[in-house]
Amino acid sequence: MAVLRSLKQTPGRLLEQPILFVPIVALGLLQTPQLFTQTLDPIVSSVVSLGFTGLMLFVMPFFVAGLVGMANDVATGNRTSVGRFLECGKTYYASAFGGYLVVFGISIVLGFAIGIAFLLGVLTFVLLGGGAVAAAAAVLIVGVGVLAYLAVMALFQFFGHAVVIDDARAFDSIKRSVDVVRANVLKVFGYYLVVLFGSGVVGGLYGGMILWLFPPATAGQPAPAPDLGSALTAVSVGTLLTTVAGGLFLVFSVLFYRSITGLDKGETPGSGSTIHL
């Protein structure tokens, strides 16, 4: 099975070339300023977070291209380096940026759809007068919205792999990702479950740590003063978590992508869309 085979190979391949962790650490440190927005007034925090999100919109495609390039080297047993990261980041930036922009836009639209589903769930709960039946109906509506979001986003998850590994252009990478997912539904479903589970564990640990170290400011009260020790702890633990999880995910995803597209069997890029389940 492609998922299990890729999972088994991931730790060994990664340990052979731990240099992959270097750009991941840099990305983690780059995102640490967001930690300190938790200590600001809610309105100021929202403005700062929005500005940082805009900045990362231009930065992330470079990291996506560079990291996928390094992970592909690791997966194929070729020697990689930070220079390789920079080379892939520059070479594939335009295509990665285009694909990332499309996926980001789709995620925003779907996010609004989930918000509407939540409001419908609340409305349903109120109109049915509360109780177990009303709660079940509300949960069902919200659940359908969340599942629809995950299902749609799953179609585009390999756009970065298509850009770097298959040398696809921006919109072609989106189509390539959709084709690969549709042709390998069961395998991708198993892969997606592993990724979601891992993301949930890491996200839960990270989020819990942030809330514990940086309690949000309450309305009408001054924001708590930042504590240097808490900040250092958050940066250290957060960077460690994202580095380890990011490295494992990258290599696992590239190994899996190469497996389901037939690249490990010497097939040419693009042939993966014809592979049967």
> How many other CB atoms are found less than 10 A from the CB of residue 16?
12
Look at 11 and 230; give whichever has higher pLDDT: 11
H/E element holding 193? helix 185-213
Q: Tell me which DSSP letter residue 162 carries.
A: H
Residues 6+ away with beta carbon under 8 Å from 88: 65, 66, 68, 69, 70, 164
At residue 127, does pLDDT exceed 80? yes
Q: What is the number of domains present in the chain?
A: 1
H/E element holding 206? helix 185-213
- Average confidence score pLDDT of the chain: 86
Task: Tell me the CA end-to-end span of the chain in Å, nearest whole number.
Answer: 11
- The pLDDT assigned to 273 comes to 35
Tell me the pLDDT tens digit for each residue of 135-149. Answer: 999 999 999 999 999
Tell me the pLDDT tens digit for each residue of 21-58. Answer: 999 999 888 877 765 665 555 676 677 778 888 888 99
- The pLDDT assigned to 276 comes to 28
- The pLDDT assigned to 236 comes to 80
- The pLDDT assigned to 207 comes to 80
Tell me the pLDDT tens digit for each residue of 158-203. Answer: 999 999 999 999 999 999 999 999 999 999 999 999 999 999 998 8
Percent of the chain with pLDDT over 70: 85
One-letter amino acid for residue 250 of the chain: L
Question: Please, which pLDDT band fits residue 225 given cuts at 50, 70 and 90?
Answer: low
Q: Tell me which DSSP letter residue 263 carries.
A: G
Look at 244 and 238; give whichever has higher pLDDT: 244
Residues 6+ away with beta carbon under 8 Å from 125: 134, 135, 137, 138
Tell me the pLDDT tens digit for each residue of 73-96. Answer: 999 999 999 999 999 999 999 999
Q: Could you give the maximum distance between any two Cα atoms of the chain, in Å?
A: 63
At residue 274, does pLDDT exceed 60? no
At residue 100, does pLDDT exceed 70? yes
Ordered DSSP codes for 5-72: HHHHHHHHHHHH-GGGHHHHHHHHHHTTHHHHGGGS-HHHHHHHHHHHHHHHHHHHHHHHHHHHHHHH
Distance of CA 200 to the CA centre of its chain: 11
**Residue whose C-alpha is closest to residue 176's, from 72, 273, 264, 258:** 273
Residues 6+ away with beta carbon under 8 Å from 262: 271, 272, 275
Tell me the CA distances in angstroms from 152 to 102, 145, 187, 259, 268, one per residue in order: 13, 11, 16, 22, 27
Print the domain residue range for 106. 2-274
